[in-house]
Amino acid sequence: MVLPPWVEYRKGQSRSIQVPFDAYFSTEPLEGFHRVVTMEDFFGHLGQTVWPTEVRTSFCYADRPVIGGQNIGGVCNAKNGNPFGPFWDNFDVNFVQSETYGPLHYDVHYTSVANDWMKKYPASKWPVLAFTGAPAPYPVQKENVELQKYLKWNPALMKRAEDFISQLPKGPFIGVHMRNGVDWSRACEHVVNAPTLFASAQCLGYTNENGRASTELCLPSEEIIIRQLRRKIGQFKAKSIFVASDSNHMIDRLNRAFKKISVTAHKLPEDNPHLDLAILGRSNHFIGNCVSSFSAFVKRERDISGFPSSFWAFPSHVKPPHNEL
């Protein structure tokens, strides 16, 4: 398995940049699941031998003639648009043809699709399958949640997380994730009509067996946040709060709310979502947003380690509807 770089967008730059996989995560633990190589090492040592330029084929489920609202014809159009073009240009890859693989899919747990893939695309003829998008369903399938145990932060990032934690007031701390940007607020307006929105299955269940999504679950009020924090601060005897957010960290509001009990709120001096994730994963308790896939990453990591977590406005006091047979 070739580990692709992370696609990131930086302020003031129109094109995405590609950050090597091992800039954040260690590759060695992944070997416990499957043989892996970073994309940089693949093209540096194997690319031209295993995947000569004259046979490079892009894979897509079906024709993609419409890109950015324009019908440009063609099949996969693997390099049209951002981040697709910059991603492949980073490795000087151009495709000579396209291959549509539908109706094959990625659910290998309950079907014979894995064998179907091997029959249609044997490694002897197709040593490299280069997809236009990630070959995996979103959100994470229930059967794949435990794969998180193979994904470990690299030592350099772990040290940065530990250094930051060491500067917090001595004692336990609560890690919280607040998703409250404008784009998120708009998405939450539709949550009632989208019971499986984004990562909501992590608390509601994959068939809503634990309840249904609500506006408070998606975008909790300050009152809910402070009430739940007060409860967890008391339960874990926390001395501080670490906040990760895409917009409003509520630092001043939290400091006022907990001034009498000498609990202070903190955030990173500069935006760094990967460092946020690593710090949240090591808090004494984590409170996340059930609908957010960012929170879901933290929850999976903590579950593997046996660390406690909870969600804003969950469980709800309103029971899910019961359908009579």
State the pLDDT at residue 288.
98
Both 46 and 165 in one domain: the answer is no
Cβ pair 119, 90 in contact under 8 A: no
Measure Cα distances from 90 to 2, 16, 43, 209 in Å. 15, 10, 11, 44
| CATH assignment of the domain containing 303 | 3.40.50.11350
Task: HSE, CB side, 13 Å, CA atoms: give it for residue 79.
Answer: 15
What is the CB-side half-sphere exposure of residue 250 using CA atoms within 13 A? 24
Name the strand (E) or helix (H) holding 299. helix 293-305
Q: Are residue 37 and residue 94 in the same domain, yes or no?
A: yes
What is the percentage of the chain residues whose pLDDT exceeds 70?
95
pLDDT at residue 66 in the model: 65
pLDDT of residue 318: 42
- Residue range 188-226, pLDDT digits in tens: 999 989 989 999 999 999 999 999 999 999 999 999 999
Domain that holds residue 206: 150-311
- CA–CA distance, 265 with 276 (Å, rounded to integer): 14
Q: What is the pLDDT of residue 321?
A: 46
32 in a structural domain = yes
Residue 235 lies in a domain: yes
On the CB side of 158, how many CA atoms lie within 13 Å of its CA? 8
My answer on whether omega of the bond before 315 falls inside 30° of 0, hence cis, is yes
Band of residue 25 on the pLDDT scale cut at 50, 70, 90: very high
Final residue belonging to a domain, choices 102, 137, 172:
137
In whole angstroms, what is the distance from residue 10 CA to residue 8 CA? 7
* Domain endpoint, select from 81, 106, 137: 137
Give the strand pairing for 173-178 and 285-288. Answer: parallel
SS3 176: strand
Q: Is residue 324 part of a domain?
A: no
Q: How many domains does the chain have?
A: 2
pLDDT in tens, 76-99: 999 998 999 999 999 999 999 999
Domain match, 107 and 166 both = no
